[in-house]
Amino acid sequence: MSHRTGPAMAVLAAFALAGAACATSPRSVSPAAANPSDSPSRVAAQPPTAIVDPLPSWRLDWARGAVFYQVFVRSFADSDGDGIGDLRGLISRLDYLNDGDPATRNDLGVDALWLMPVFVSPSYHGYDTVDYEHINPPYGTDADFATLLREAHRRGMRVIVDLVLNHSSAQHPWFVEASSSPTAARRNWYVWRADDPGWTQPWGGSYRVWHTSGDQFFYGVFWSGMPDLNWRNPDLRAELYRIAERWLTLGVDGFRLDATRHLVENGPDQQQVDQPETHAALRELARAVRQRHPEALLVGENWTETPLIAAYFGSDREVPGGDELPASFNFPLAAAIVGAARDGDGDAVRSVLAEMAAAYPRRALDAPFLANHDMARLTTQLGGDVAAQRRAAALLLTLPGAPFLYYGEEIGLENGSARGDEAKRTPMPWSGQAPGYGFTAATAPWHPFSGDPQARNVATELSDEGSLLAHYRRWIAARRASPALRDGDLFLLDSGRETGVVAFLRRTDGERALVVHNLARSGATFAAPMSCDRLAVRLSDGDVRLADLPKHGCLLDLPPQSAWLGTVRSD
């Protein structure tokens, strides 16, 4: 969609104010018709049933506008000198994230934490779970986790944890039992068939997804070490809901749900993703959570396009935010923001925001971000361009929803030199002191540091008001101080011929916030729909100058790669 025509101040879209959900009610599919195998064990298991009884709405005001910080515990802080980050190390660094005192200025000011997998696992990354009910010993104990929750909550931070429900580890006792015999009690907790139909991973390539065990095959969309759980099985689902309830009762504030597009498969290629039974299963999970914990956040990982992401909010428009997942990560918007920061053109950002306005249900809770543990780090994607990183951060932190920051993003941490995902998850440098750089007392951490930790570390940037870290702190503080920025609707504004400008109004009762980003490497102007004397400048990143226009307009003269935030009380 072009945004270069029409009146300069035409309102193009209103996100979260209106917009039709593009999801439809998942149709009921009989197990026999949906079953890719004639295995009796698979046919016998039933899909989730429709939800008909009324339930309380999600109560997620705490998450609207909240800034989340994604932590890979292994790489954040090591308390015992073994080179591996742990929960006690994270606890020791909580004051850096949020010290609980709004009067101080040295903390980052985030509102919540997302912990990547912390449950028992044989791998460094933890996405192949062996025990869903206990903390991985290298990270500490269950008591350490309870202490983390208590200390985070004391500072006003919520905590959500990665819950991997699409698959388990092949070493999980469930799978060990299931693979021991076709008549094993938990055989139906996984997906079996007598032959390999030759399916490959739905995102492309030639990797086959059916794996040999004895004289049969089990389904594992990622690899043979992570067999997929059989979500058609009601006993399996009940056990997963019990596990979720256990952690919520202990004080966890919600879950990041891994690989939610892949829960149920009906055939090869795209029949392995986004199936009606997957939506039904997630509605049932959401119902189980919402019955007792309506304030618990569920964030889905649906790495796909905007209309398909929108479907994961659910199909019941009477439930604010939807009856399925109350939040989903916004992968198209992440790609658009990073591209805009790199190239200086905001067209892709405007297009995604317009798509969201059309597709997302009312009061959907978006989860925008810039990069995560599966992507090249933001610094690496942008070639080390600090100005571009600043633009991406400012844009992210002025958008609706609950933005997520990946640990180290705020100091410009880059990818390591090694290949593989480990290079995206390197240790956090807290100081410039070798060899442990404040991360560990060990001679060497579990993985080498990336970049130059002597030059790029938390201590160095904390002492520099012009640093990237200081930039993040300022925009987070501005977000927290503005009700419109935290929870207002978004009205996308036409930038005319200025393709590098992304401008919008955020509006809630009592306040309007005007946000203008110039992503270009050249100066730009923007005509605001209100008089200059009504605008209270909250934050100006660059020497932005204002001049009155006839009929109560205000002209903003924007230097290259700048951003501006002003607010006005609503009439």
Tell me the catalytic residues: 258, 301
Strand order in the sheet with 11-15: 11-15, 489-493, 501-508, 511-518, 562-569, 536-541
For residue 46, give the 3-state DSSP assignment.
coil
Q: Can you tell me whether residue 34 is helix, strand or coil?
A: helix
**C-alpha span between 464 and 444 (Å, rounded):** 28
| Residue indicated by tokens 């946000």 | 515
Sequential DSSP letters for 349-372: HHHHHHHHHHHSPTT-EEE-BS--
Q: What are phi and psi of 547, to 5 degrees?
A: -140, 140
In angstroms, the CA 402 to CA 454 distance is 32
The residues facing 512 across adjacent strands are: 507, 568
Give the C-alpha separation, 246 to 290, whole Å.
Answer: 14
Would you report the helix, strand and coil content of the chain in percent, each value rounded to 5?
Answer: 30, 20, 50
> Beta-carbon neighbour count of residue 293 at 10 Å?
19
Q: Which residue has the tokens 């149920």?
A: 264
User: What letter would DSSP give residue 529?
Assistant: S
Nearest of 302, 319, 313, 299 to residue 254 by alpha carbon: 299
- Cα dihedral sign, 131-133-135-137: negative
387/401 Cα distance (integer angstroms): 24
Tell me the two tokens of residue 178.
């299931």
Amino acid at position 349, single letter: V
Hey, what amino acid is at 223?
W
- Interior angle at CA 570, CA 565 and CA 571, nearest 5: 150
Question: For the chain, how long is the longest CA-to-CA vector?
Answer: 81
Alpha helices (H) in 316-439, listed in sequence order = 331-343, 347-359, 378-381, 386-396
- Is the separation of the CB atoms in 459 and 96 below 8 Å? no
